[in-house]
Structures are given as C-alpha cells and as structure tokens.
Amino acid sequence: MDTVLHTDPQEQLRSLYKSLLNRQENLDEFRQLLSEYPPVADDVDTEPLAAIEVRTRLSQRIREWTGQPFGGLSASQMHMWRAIVIDRRMALAPWGN
C-alpha cells in the first residue's frame, strides 16, 4: 500500500524557518548544501546527477531538522533558495516607502 504524505506546505516552510533560526549549525549546513547546488545554466535542460544528489541530501537533512514528513525540494525550489541565500538576489521594497 502506498503512503501519501498529506502535509501543509506553509507548515513545512514554518518548520524549516524555525529550524534555521533556532540552530546556527542547521543554517550553516543549509547554506553549504545550497552552495554545492549548481546555478541555473541556460544550456542545460536536465538536472545533473550531482545536483540531484545535493538536492536529495538537503531534503533529507530538512526532514531530520524538522522531524516532520517532507516531500523534498524540487529543482526550481533549489534554484530559488540558492538565488536568495547564496547569490543574495531578492527583490525587496525599500523600507518606509
């Protein structure tokens, strides 16, 4: 019998944030694994095997940190997180405007 994970994505994200904010070593490892994930390449249509391995490792670590079921990060989510955390690309509105 197949088990289907019924989890709230917002709750998963909250759990991840809490884990990263409460434990510096989790944040450091999160950053390290994201830095190992290759940036977006325009000429590559498929995710390289090394990238899949990093994504799988990070997804497993998130499960361990949060202690909750977690379906895993997609390649597009990895690119988003890498852009925000590693490349520091994030569109923010200026404060006070």
* Model confidence pLDDT, tens digit, residues 41-63: 766 678 899 999 999 999 999 99
Q: What share of residues in the chain are helix, strand, coil (percent, to 5)?
A: 60, 0, 40
pLDDT of residue 97: 46
pLDDT of residue 39: 85
Determine, yes or no, domain membership for 71. yes
Q: Quick one: what percent of the chain has pLDDT higher than 90?
A: 57
> CB of 34 within 8 A of CB of 78?
yes
Determine, yes or no, domain membership for 93. no
Provide the residue range defining the domain that includes 77: 9-86
Distance (Å, whole) CA 1 – CA 13: 28
Please write the tens of the pLDDT for every residue from 65-77: 999 888 899 998 9
Structure tokens that stand for 56 in this block: 């799988």
**Is residue 3 predicted with pLDDT exceeding 70?**
no
Determine, yes or no, domain membership for 94. no
Total number of domains in the chain: 1
